[in-house]
Amino acid sequence: MKKFVYALVILMAIIHQDIWWWDNKRLIFDFMPLGLFYHALFSCMAAGLWALAIKWAWPSDIEEWAEAEAEQGGEQ
Amino acid sequence: MSHDPWLIVLGQAAEPASRTPLYIIIVYMCALFALGWISSRLFRGSSKDFFVASQSIGPFMLLMSVFGTTMTAFALVGSTGKAFSLGIGTYGLMASSSGLIHAACFFFVGIRMWSFGKKYGYVTQIQFFRDRFESKGLGYLMFPILVGLIIPYLLVGLIGAGNYIGGVTAGMFPETFSLPDKVLPSGKEIANPLNGSVPAWLTGLVISAVVLFYVFFGGVRSAVWANTFQTIVFMIMGLVGFLVIAHGLGGLEAASKKTLEYAPEKLSRVGLMTPAHFMSYMLVPLSVGMFPHLFQHWLTAKSAKSFRLTVVAHPICIMIVWVPCILIGIWAAGLHAEGSLRVPPLPNGNPNANAVLSAMVKTFMDSPVLIGLFSAGVLAAIMSSLDSQFVCIGSMFTNDFVVPWMGKDRFTDKQKVWLGRGFIVFIVLITYVISIFKPTSVFNLGVWCFSGFSALFPIAFASVYWKRLTKAGVVASVIATTVTWSLFIYDALGNKGEKWFGESHAGEYLIAGVMPVTFICLASIIALVLVSLATKAPSQATIDRFFPTKG
């Protein structure tokens, strides 16, 4: 599922470039320009994507490693 | 109410405007003092608590502090002004792309950085880089560059606050802060729209002092508390302000229809930006992966799970703040084109984009109480970034410059905290002085600052994913970034003759039709990869240390 999440991230980056509505001045609900509405929706979709990423691609190995006993004392 | 701004300006000459908004702002500042004092009671006195709040911050406060830190004058004052000039495309340029890219940086880089901080006790980003690349000298190279890039970010806050408060307090003190009439390039003389307003130097002085106060006494813990409080304030007041302005304009539909009638070009992107320009902006939000102040916030997290809420809710929080600002900006463009909104002009006679938000608030909010509350919200957004940046520069000076240079046993823990405080004051003073003499577009200044950090992002990313990355590769990448960034910014802002590399289009400096960040990032990546491949790989011990095997 991790690969699916990564593919979705790339897909989102592509659909961010909404050239298909570049010159559309239509108002949705009589006040919201279509281009702005689409990108507001994009923000909601991004939130959904990251919720999926947490479910399917969470780096639990890193988390466990970090939360095991700390070993201070590198350069610091 | 009358919406004729000329009458408003004439009215200011006759009698001072209500000072109620200013009193509300003063009460808000006092509340911040109190909050700073209360959170300082929890300060444990150690440098670890001052710099990373002893890694005790939970999910909600992490979200509020990270989001509050990334939203500054750039988000409120800058986005409204940019939408006034570039229309709705402004949201796609920075906000929706940030929803994807910021969260990606938190998820793919932030959690790993946090894990190294937790495991090895890092307090700053440079400490991590020093260990990862087995080099003390790398820290000395990165320290001035990171601090140098934070200064424009601090400037964004101070200039934005000065412009906003100047606009909103116009006419309050006609005797104390009187300004001469303005002569437009056309030769026409007009009453100065900012006559009687609180000057930018005073606004900058007050907000710097308030932020310094609570940062001084509680360090990053106070910054997190204040950020949480201020983020809630600016999100709520932003929405309330938006609805009140919409009401003042006769409703959402009437406001947008005016733009459709008088400035229809602002409702789409055609003619204002090209797809290549738009796409290249996607590189700008990568900057969050390299912001040292954000790195410090990541380190405050109690556990990796604390990141989950931040990753998911960050795009939504951006939307809640930015959509109203963009709508206000395009409505202002329509009203300005119609002639029913007056935006204070720049010396060249063009409207000052930084003053669009305050002009809308001043013109379309009836209630001085609401103006005061909304203005407190705008200042909250600005100060919630300044505080983190203040703590961060103090932390970097102490941990990345003084301690490696003088030795970690040279100073007591208390002295380290005071060294950090001293450097914060020094940098704030420098920034404050620049802010008085160099007012410029908040949005553009922010983009230049972010572009520099974005070009350094490949270093952060490769350092946690690419074992073959070397110290020499990092040095080459930093140099490539510094050289290209300096050349482009000089060409864009300092070069008064013919441009060497790019050209200005709709207020943006573009090279071959794309943002300069494209070429700065490219130079950074090429130098990073080629020099790393050509030089000796890091030791196995270092690779084992930073690339733990699973299980």
- DSSP assignment of B402-450 equals IHHHH-TTSS-HHHHHHHHHHHHHHHHHHHHHHHHH----HHHHHHHHH
Residue B288: per-residue pLDDT:
93
Output the average pLDDT for chain B: 88
A73 in a domain, yes or no? no
**Cβ contact B316–A47 (<8 Å):** yes
- Residue A44 touches chain B, beta carbons under 8 Å: yes
Q: Tell me if B257 sits within 8 A of B342, measured CB to CB.
A: no
Amino acid of residue B248: G
At residue A44, does pLDDT exceed 70?
Answer: yes
**Cβ contact A36–B326 (<8 Å):** yes
Closest CA in chain A for residue B90: A36
Q: Out of B256, B303, B316, whose CB is closest to A31?
A: B256
Residue with tokens 């200044």: B445
Closest CA in chain B for residue A32: B256
At residue B8, does pLDDT exceed 70?
Answer: no
**B231: enclosing H helix or E strand:** helix B200-248
Domain residue limits at A44: 2-57
Q: What b/e string do you get for A5-22 counting C-beta neighbours within 10 Å, with b at 16 or more?
A: beebbeebeeebebeebb
**Cβ contact B121–A12 (<8 Å):** no
Among A29, A31, A54, A72, pick the best mutation site for testing chain B contact (most B Cβ within 10 A): A31
The Cα-based distances of B25 to B70, B189, B369, B382 in angstroms read: 22, 33, 10, 13
Most confidently modeled range among A21-30, B26-35, B162-171, B349-358: A21-30
B48 in a domain, yes or no? no
According to DSSP, the residues that pair with B508 across neighbouring strands are B505
Residue A48, SS3?
helix
Residue B319: per-residue pLDDT:
96
- Residue A52 touches chain B, beta carbons under 8 Å: no
- Choice among A14-28, B45-59, B226-240, B410-424 with the minimum mean pLDDT: B45-59
The Cα-based distances of B154 to B300, B382, B398, B430 in angstroms read: 22, 9, 19, 10
B374 in a domain, yes or no? yes
A33 in a domain, yes or no? yes
Residue B15: per-residue pLDDT:
62
Residue with tokens 């029913």: B340
Closest CA in chain B for residue A29: B253
A19 in a domain, yes or no? yes
At residue B408, does pLDDT exceed 80?
Answer: no
Residue-wise pLDDT for B137-160, tens only, equals: 999 999 999 999 998 888 888 888
- Choice among B29-38, B528-537, B539-548 with the minimum mean pLDDT: B29-38
Residue B511: per-residue pLDDT:
95
A69 in a domain, yes or no? no
According to DSSP, the residues that pair with B182 across neighbouring strands are B190
Residue B213: per-residue pLDDT:
86
**Cβ contact A47–B548 (<8 Å):** no
**B320: enclosing H helix or E strand:** helix B307-338
A40 in a domain, yes or no? yes
Mean pLDDT of B22-44: 84
Q: Give the span between the Cα atoms of B190 and B39, in whole angstroms.
A: 48
Mean pLDDT of B83-111: 95
Q: Give the span between the Cα atoms of A39 and A36, in whole angstroms.
A: 5
Total of domains in chain B: 1
**Cβ contact A43–B95 (<8 Å):** yes
Mean pLDDT of B55-63: 84
Count of other CB atoms within 10 angstroms of residue A29: 9
**Chain B residues touching A33 at Cβ < 8 A:** 88, 256, 267-268, 330
Mean pLDDT of B185-205: 86
**Chain A residues touching B278 at Cβ < 8 A:** 17
A74 in a domain, yes or no? no
Residue-wise pLDDT for B483-536, tens only, equals: 999 999 999 888 778 889 988 877 789 999 999 999 999 999 999 999 999 999
Mean pLDDT of B220-246: 87
Domain residue limits at B70: 5-14+57-438
Q: Out of B270, B304, B318, whose CB is closest to A23?
A: B270
**Chain B residues touching A29 at Cβ < 8 A:** 252
Residue with tokens 């909010």: B365
A72 in a domain, yes or no? no
CATH number of the CATH domain containing B229? 1.20.1730.10
Q: How confident is the model at residue B436 (pLDDT cuts 50, 70, 90)?
A: confident
Mean pLDDT of B14-35: 86
B81 in a domain, yes or no? yes
> What is the complex's ipTM, to 2 decimals?
0.91
% of chain A with per-residue pLDDT over 90 = 74
Q: What letter would DSSP give residue B547? A: S
Residue A67: per-residue pLDDT:
82
**Chain B residues touching A36 at Cβ < 8 A:** 88, 91, 323, 326-327
Q: Out of A29, A36, A50, whose CB is closest to B323?
A: A36
**Chain A residues touching B330 at Cβ < 8 A:** 33
- Residue A67 touches chain B, beta carbons under 8 Å: yes
Residue-wise pLDDT for B270-304, tens only, equals: 999 999 999 999 999 999 999 998 888 888 888 88
User: What φ, ψ does residue B346 adopt, rounded to 5°?
Assistant: -80, 170
A64 in a domain, yes or no? no
Total of domains in chain A: 1
Residue B438: per-residue pLDDT:
63
Give the closest residue to B543 by CA, choosing from B432, B464, B427: B464
At residue B42, does pLDDT exceed 80?
Answer: no
Among B51, B82, B119, B142, pick the best mutation site for testing chain A contact (most A Cβ within 10 A): B119
